[in-house]
Chain A
Amino acid sequence: MEFGILVNEGPYTHQASDTAYLFARTAIEKGHKVPRVFFYHDGVNNSTRLATPPQDDRNVNSRWSKLAEEHAVDLVVCVAAAQRRGINDDVLAPGFRISGLGQLVEMGIQHDRLVTFGD
């Protein structure tokens, strides 16, 4: 099955991004496809490469980058939500790209399921 994933919360404050990541990773391990993850609302804060969490904790942002690299997952950050929150190409972690909301709608149209992680 092809899953589209929508992440609506930022890292650390909220568990949504962790759960979305674990869902995506597990779905891929089980043989499903996760072609794209879309980051909206504070979810865009998952895309910055400037985050430096303590070493004894998981790195939420770089974990997404690794998933993208290993499984060709398209990590898309909403441009309007990103601009509101100071996220631009200069701070983007590997594997992320900035684009429009159309990419989210496209996931809903093309994939078998769209799964939302958020408040």
Chain B
Amino acid sequence: MSDMDEMEDGSGIVKKFMFLNRKAPHGTVYALEGLEVVLITAAFDQDVSMVFTDDGIYQLMKGIDTKGIEVKDFSRTYRALEGYDIEKLYVDQASLDARGLTEDDLIVDVTVLSVDEMANLMVEQDVVISF
């Protein structure tokens, strides 16, 4: 695959990449295709953080079943992130509250942050990509 070839001529530079997931897992393709970018970025040995905010927190919900809408269920990919050394997962407290959800409703371990804490984390990043 072409992506694999490209990874070999890396410059050795490690930047902080934050992926901001704002949309529900289904209904649009952003979450699914966004996840591909996250995995490739980790394969380039970059410092990856994922943030789930707004409807994006539904991507991590327990009990997702896509049979009824006949689309691919990719929610198990989030469980596999650890295997790609992607361990910095952050969830916006206000987004959880607004939807009546808690950490217990999510399929992976996350760090819950306030809006201010999230803002501070964003300032530290080199690259922020929003899906």
Interface residues of A (CB under 8 A from B): 6, 8, 40-41, 79-81, 99-106, 108-110, 114, 116, 118-119
From residue 87 to 131 of chain B, which have CB atoms closer than 8 A to chain A?
A: 126-127, 129-131
A81–B55 Cα distance when bound, in Å, is 23
Chain B's interface size range is: 20 to 34
Q: Does B58 sit at the interface, judged by CB under 8 A?
A: no
Inter-chain residue pair count (beta carbon < 8 A): 61
CB distance from A115 to the nearest CB of B (A): 10
Q: Does B75 sit at the interface, judged by CB under 8 A?
A: no
Q: Does B3 sit at the interface, judged by CB under 8 A?
A: yes
A6–B127 Cα distance when bound, in Å, is 12
CB distance from A92 to the nearest CB of B (A): 16
Q: Is B29 a contact partner of A6 (Cβ separation < 8 A)?
A: no
> Looking at the complex, which one of A41, A100, A105, A108 makes contact with B1 (CB distance below 8 Å)?
A100
> Looking at the complex, which one of A100, A109, A110, A116 makes contact with B130 (CB distance below 8 Å)?
A116
Q: Is A40 a contact partner of B1 (Cβ separation < 8 A)?
A: no
